[in-house]
A = this chain, B = another copy of it.
Amino acid sequence: MATLIAPINHSPVADAEALHGAFKGWGTDEKSVITILGHRNVYQRQQIRKSYQEIYQEDILKRLESELSGDFERAVYRWMLEPADRDAVLANVAIKDGSKSYHVIIEIVSVLSPEEVLAMRRAYHNRYKHSLEEDLAAHTTGHLRQLLVGLVTSFRYGGAEINPKLAKTEADILHESIKEKKGNHEEAIRILTTRSKTQLLATFNRYRDDHGISITKKLLDNASDDFHNALHTTIRCINDHKKYYEKILRGALKRVGTDEDGLTRVVVTRAEKDLKDIKELYYKRNSVHLEDAVAKEISGDYKKFILTLLGKQD
């Protein structure tokens, strides 16, 4: 379930005019920006952008960039991009950022549906005049490259068929691959990058049945390098992406100084999808409401905006 609260009817023209008013004169009326954009769904936001362009011959994204600043600006900007385009931007930033951000790329391509991944790759072409795999492959080597490029280029089968025999064989292959730290991981990479998600879930379940421990826990014992970390993230995102996002939020809010990028990313990408479920998981795990943790850690317009997306009533 989503957390976003959006009206069923809205006038893109009225919204564009109200936002234009909020930008006028000295200073910006941030409150109006939050009240309007924090309550519009993806379709409505694109309509506003279109209307704004038509009325004022200006891209509202550019205008928002110059009117707002800091974490608030980044959050609003990402919120305003079309999802496929936003994910392309996130992936590109992660590539430039290097191995500490590769989990963002894994997260995007492992959580999205196969067709959504294609849309993101198309958006990447349009924006960067390169393919995503081209840029990613040029920045990585060895097993890590094989895994990452395999994940972003895969067009997984989306059906519900399961082959139980294959689940057994491939659970064993994954087990062997995790055991040997310096082993040949090509088969593990093949399995994780090509099998359907349904088949992989069957394989992970089989792993737990046969080895008495979940594959993610087992991998944690061995996650000592970038490749094993990437393997771990991949399996977690495929296995249960809501649990994965809960942990990202927990880590982001627990850090000294807060990881605003992580917080923004999860809230902005999930607010219209399943942030309500993630919020519940957060409460279950931390005995603190996500809104309260957020309210304590961040401040100002950024805080107001994030809380709005989290479903706080004005």
* Chain A residues packing against B (C-beta within 8 Å): 118, 121-122, 125, 129-134, 137-138, 141-142, 145-146, 149-150, 153-159, 161, 186, 190, 193-196
Query: Which residues of the other chain, B, contact A154 by a CB distance below 8 angstroms?
Result: 131, 133, 153
Q: Is the interface of A mostly helix, strand, loop or mixed?
A: helix
Q: Are B186 and A157 in contact (CB under 8 A)?
A: no
C-alpha gap A122/B154 in the complex (Å):
12
Q: Is the CB of B186 within 8 A of A131?
A: no
Chain B residues with Cβ below 8 Å from A161 are 129
Report if A194-B156 is in contact (Cβ < 8 Å); known contacts: A146-B146, A150-B149: no
Copies assembled? 2
Q: How far is the CB of A117 from chain B (nearest CB, A)?
A: 10
Contacting pair B125 A157 (CB below 8 A): yes
Q: List 5 A-B contacts (CB under 8 A).
A: A125-B158, A131-B194, A133-B153, A137-B194, A149-B194
Q: CB within 8 A of A131: which of B118, B146, B149, B157?
A: B157
Taken together as a complex, chains A and B put the C-alpha atoms of A130 and B157 apart, in Å, by: 5
When the two chains form their complex, are residues B155 and A118 in contact, meaning their CB atoms are under 8 A apart?
A: yes
Q: Which 9 A-B pairs have the closest CB atoms?
A: A153-B153, A134-B194, A137-B190, A131-B157, A121-B155, A137-B194, A133-B194, A125-B157, A130-B157
Give the CA-CA distance A159 to B132 in the complex, in Å: 14
Residues in chain B near residue A196, CB distance under 8 A: 130-131, 134
Asked if A157 and B134 sit within 8 Å, CB to CB, the answer is yes
User: Which residues of chain B are near A118, meaning CB under 8 Å?
Assistant: 118, 155
How far apart sit A137 and B170, CA to CA, in the bound complex (Å)?
Answer: 13
Contacts of A190 in B (CB 8 A): 137-138, 145
Minimum CB–CB distance for A151 against chain B, Å:
10
Give bound CA distance, A159 to B129, whole Å.
7
- Name the B residues within 8 Å of A141 (CB-CB): 186
Q: A134-B195, A137-B190 are in contact. List 5 more A-B contacts (CB 8 A).
A: A125-B158, A131-B154, A131-B196, A137-B193, A145-B190
Residues in chain B near residue A125, CB distance under 8 A: 155, 157-159
